[in-house]
Amino acid sequence: MTSAPMLVDGTRKAEILETAATMFATRGVRTSLQEIADAAGILPGSLYHHFASKDAIIVELIERYQADLDLIARRALDETGRLQPSRDRIVALATAIAECAVRHRAALLLTFYEPPAGASDEFVRLARRTPSAVGNAMFEMLRIARTTGEIRTDADLRLLADRITQAMLHIGIGVSHQTPGGEQVPGLRCSILLDGLAVRTPADATLNRSRSMRAADDVIASWSEREHPAGGGDRAELLRVARAEFARRGYDATTVRDIAAAAGLSTGAVYRLIRSKGELLVAIMRAYAASVNEGWDRVLRAKSSAVERLDALMWFNINVLDRFAEEYKIQSALLSQSPPSNPNLGMSFSTQLRRLRSVLAEGLRKGELHVEKAPADMRARSVFAVVWTPENIVRGEGTRGALAFGRETVLRGVAKRR
């Protein structure tokens, strides 16, 4: 007779978690318990019957996500003895990681930034935990593929495993899975990194001398010639601090009070320098957006082959991330919203996507590129994602090393060509 209430309690707890996940995925970590209770159709007192605090909900969401990732890793390793082509196992694991990221999108986004001030020790510990189990499983899949001759012997498997794993997890951060044909994105991204986009890849020396590469270098060089957009004085210092806080905490989770404390100012002093948090964001990101848009425009307009333009785009993006790491992280968060809820920053994602579609169509028509069959928009979204190199690879390998790795994956592919 005692099992029925337990079942009801278990069902209610699961409902609260699902409601909280939806709220955190759309409103961020500052979602209140009152808002979660209202959305779940219960009183806050009933919510406390299941969870002692908001952090307790967050901890359980992250634990479920990380346990799911660990289970995916174990299953992948358990199935390595099956008679299945190594490539299929790689794609299957990559797809499972992407599906997990989408399924646990709230937890993924909650671990994308540093936990807010006052977060519990358990929240902080879990947020800092890296998904090493799936990374190691991906490495093992790639190692087997190399022993069977499906992957080139000179491929850096550790770096490649990390690259594929991150590419799959980022599907959960973005919104491509919400668009028609989104289920093809994991396979497309994996295929690009394994097979490369170029039918015939020019030598590095040829790529380095292309007009598109010169265009990218010209824009990169111009950054050091320009006066910092923030100018000088107290406002410049405020923008510097706000940029760091937005990148560290996330725009939605950062308050003007947080920025004031980090800058050593009173909240009133901040409002004397800037009218709102939104105005701060625009002031920080406007010059960055202009620099990125200019680089993309000049690289993609250059009279070069499609392969050369994609190569130069990778190089330009690597330097953007090296120079503007904080702005890039803020931009990544803005692209995770659909539709974006933040002020218009002049970010031309739709324009960039349209131009990338055009380059891909031209490259396919001329026989320079090969991409798995998929809607043009999905192809462009997948290529857009892989021409941005993860920050840890840029930091670890350096800009030139990151470009070399990008050429070996995105352009040439690590799979042996037949």
The pLDDT tens digits for 13-60 are: 889 999 999 988 877 778 889 999 999 888 888 888 889 899 999 999
The pLDDT tens digits for 364-396 are: 999 999 988 888 888 898 999 999 999 999 999
Tally of CB atoms within 10 A around 57: 25
Q: Is it the case that residue 267 has pLDDT exceeding 50?
A: yes
Q: Which of 91-100, 110-119, 319-328, 400-409 comes out lowest in average pLDDT?
A: 110-119
Tokens read off for 261: 């404390």
Name the amino acid, one letter, at 306. A
Closest CA to 142 of 196, 190, 86, 81: 86
The pLDDT tens digits for 165-224 are: 999 998 988 766 666 667 888 999 999 999 999 999 889 999 999 999 999 999 999 988
Q: In angstroms, what CA-CA distances link 208 with 181, 213, 311?
A: 35, 6, 9
Q: Note whether 359 and 343 are within 8 A (CB).
A: no
- As a whole number, mean pLDDT of residues 327-340 equals 67
Look at residue 9 in the predicted model and tell me its pLDDT: 53
Q: pTM (2 decimals)?
A: 0.86
Domains and CATH numbers, the chain: 1-51 (1.10.10.60), 69-173 (no CATH), 204-411 (1.10.357.10)
Q: Say how far apart CA 326 and CA 161 lie, in whole Å.
A: 25
Look at residue 45 in the predicted model and tell me its pLDDT: 85
* 286 class by beta-carbon count within 10 Å (0-12 exposed, 13-18 middle, 19+ buried): middle
